[in-house]
Copies of this chain bind each other. A is one copy, B any other.
Amino acid sequence: MHTDFNVLENDTYDKYLSPLKWEDNFLKLLDQRILPHNEEWLTLQTKEDVYNAIKLMVVRGAPAIGITGAFGVYFSLIEAIKENNTDVLLEKLQKDADYLKNARPTAVNLSWAIDRMINKINTLRCLKKIDLLRAAERETLSIWAEDINANIMMGSLGLALIPENANILTHCNAGAIATGGYGTALGVIRAAHDANKNIHVFSNETRPWLQGARLTAWELNKLNIPVTLIPDSTAGYLMSKHEINLVIVGADRIALNGDVANKIGTYTMAVLAHHHNIPFYVAAPVSTIDILTPSGKEIPVEERDMEEVLCFLQKRVAPDGVCARNPVFDITPNHLINAIITEKGIIYPPFSQNIRKLFN
What is the interface of chain A, defined by CB distance below 8 A to chain B? Answer: 36-37, 202, 204-208, 210, 213-214, 217-218, 221, 227-238, 240, 264-265, 267-268, 271-272, 274-275, 301, 309-310, 312-313, 315-319, 321-327, 330-331
Partner of A217, one of B229, B267, B319: B319
Tell me the complex Cα distance, A181–B207, Å. Answer: 31
Check A310/B229 contact, CB under 8 A, given A235-B268, A330-B240.
yes
CA distance A213 to B229 in the complex (A): 21
Q: Quick check: A237 and B330 within 8 Å, CB to CB?
A: yes
* Number of identical protomers: 2
- Given known pairs A313-B315, A330-B237, the reply for A229 and B322 (CB within 8 Å) is yes
**A322 / chain B contacts, CB cutoff of 8 Å:** 217, 221, 227-229
Q: How far is the CB of A325 from chain B (nearest CB, A)?
A: 5
Contacts of A230 in B (CB 8 A): 309, 324-325
A208 to B228, CA, bound (A): 15
Question: Are the CB atoms of B310 and A313 closer together than 8 Å?
Answer: no
With A268-B268, A318-B36 given, is the CB distance from A207 to B233 under 8 Å? yes
A116 CB → nearest B CB, Å: 31
Note all chain B residues with C-beta closer than 8 A to A327. Answer: 234, 237
Q: Is there contact, CB below 8 Å, between B264 and A271?
A: no
Let me know if B210 and A317 touch, CB within 8 A.
yes
Determine the chain B residues whose CB is within 8 A of the CB of A319 once the complex forms. 36-37, 214, 217-218, 221
Pick the contact of A221: B275, B310, B321 (CB < 8 A). Answer: B321
Q: In the bound complex, what is the Cα–Cα distance between A315 and B312 (angstroms)?
A: 10
The answer on a CB contact under 8 Å between B233 and A206 is yes
| A275 CA to B271 CA, complexed, in Å | 7
14 contacts between A and B (CB under 8 A): A205-B318, A206-B233, A214-B319, A221-B319, A229-B323, A229-B324, A230-B324, A231-B326, A234-B325, A234-B327, A237-B267, A237-B327, A240-B330, A271-B272
A271-B272, A275-B271 given; A210·B37 CB < 8 A? no
Residues of B within 8 A of A214 (CB): 317-319
B233 touches A325 (CB 8 A): no
Report the Cα distance A227→B306, complex, angstroms. Answer: 13
Residue from B36, B218, B232 in contact with A233 in the complex, judged by beta carbons closer than 8 Å: B232
Residues of B within 8 A of A265 (CB): 231-234, 236
In the complex, the chain B residue whose C-beta lies closest to that of A220 is B322
Cα A213 to Cα B205 in complex, Å, equals: 17
Q: How far is the CA of A228 from the CA of B323 in the complex (A)?
A: 5
Given contacts A232-B265, A234-B327, 9 further A-B contacts (CB under 8 A): A205-B207, A207-B231, A213-B310, A214-B318, A221-B322, A231-B232, A271-B272, A274-B275, A312-B312
- Determine how close the nearest CB of chain B comes to the CB of A313; give it in whole angstroms: 6
A231 and B264 in contact, given A236-B330, A313-B315, A322-B221 (Cβ under 8 angstroms): yes
What residues on B are CB-neighbors of A312 within 8 Å? Answer: 210, 213, 312-313
